[in-house]
């Protein structure tokens, strides 16, 4: 998609990602208030998940980022822990996958920034997209 149509903070977030931890993030879709941001290299803890331990996934970023919080991720393959336990918030084939369904999105994890596990940190700038990546990786570790 044409990134120049995205709000400036999201364009900045893509720039920050490219300049720091991963070279090829993409905004693949916009649906309602949500941008589906492809993160090509998210670390998946070796001790808890079988390989591959770097996977791509989409994180749903609000158009108002950083003034509103991410909500949910979409994966191509399900996250299946090595011990086989069910991952909370997993919805296979959920309609939230539809915007990226044609390019492989098939599993929605309805993870919120704050909730039962406590309050997520305040997001203050587009640069905090790095915190979002850390948050996704931690949520997978805790899945």
Partner 1 sequence: MNPMIDKEENGHHIIFVGEIKEEWEEDLVLAADIMAKAGRSPPDGSILEALDRKGGSAVMEFQPQDKVDLIVKDRKFFRITPGGGGFS
- Residues found near partner 1 in the complex (CB under 8 A): 45-47, 71-72, 88-89, 110-122, 131-132, 134-135, 137-139, 141-142
CB 22, min distance to partner 1, A: 16
Distance CA 5, CA 70 (A): 19
Judged by beta carbon, residue 31 or residue 141, the one nearer partner 1 is: 141
Q: Are strands 34-43 and 90-92 parallel, antiparallel or unpaired?
A: unpaired
Over its C-alpha atoms, the chain yields an Rg (Å, rounded) of: 14
* Smallest gap from residue 2 Cβ to partner 1 (A): 30
Cβ count near 127 (within 10 Å): 16
CB of 103 to partner 1, least distance (A): 24
Nearer Cβ to partner 1, position 28 or 128?
Answer: 128
Which CB, 40 or 89, lies closer to partner 1?
Answer: 89
C-alpha 113/C-alpha 121 separation (Å) is 8
Please give the distance of CA 27 from its chain centroid, rounded to a whole number: 11
């Amino acid at each position: 998609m044409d990134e120049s149509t995205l709000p400036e903070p999201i364009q900045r977030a893509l720039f920050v990602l490219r300049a720091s931890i991963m070279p090829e993030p993409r905004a693949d879709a916009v649906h309602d208030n949500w941008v589906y941001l492809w993160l090509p290299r998210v670390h998946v803890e070796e001790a808890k998940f079988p390989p591959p331990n770097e996977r791509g996934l989409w994180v749903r970023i609000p158009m108002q980022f950083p003034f509103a919080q991410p909500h949910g991720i979409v994966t191509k393959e399900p996250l299946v822990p090595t011990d086989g336990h069910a991952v909370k918030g997993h919805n296979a084939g959920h309609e939230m996958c539809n915007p990226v369904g044609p390019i492989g999105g098939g599993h929605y994890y309805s993870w919120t920034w704050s909730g039962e596990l406590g309050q997520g940190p305040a997001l203050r700038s587009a640069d905090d997209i790095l915190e979002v990546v850390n948050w996704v990786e931690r949520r997978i570790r805790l899945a």
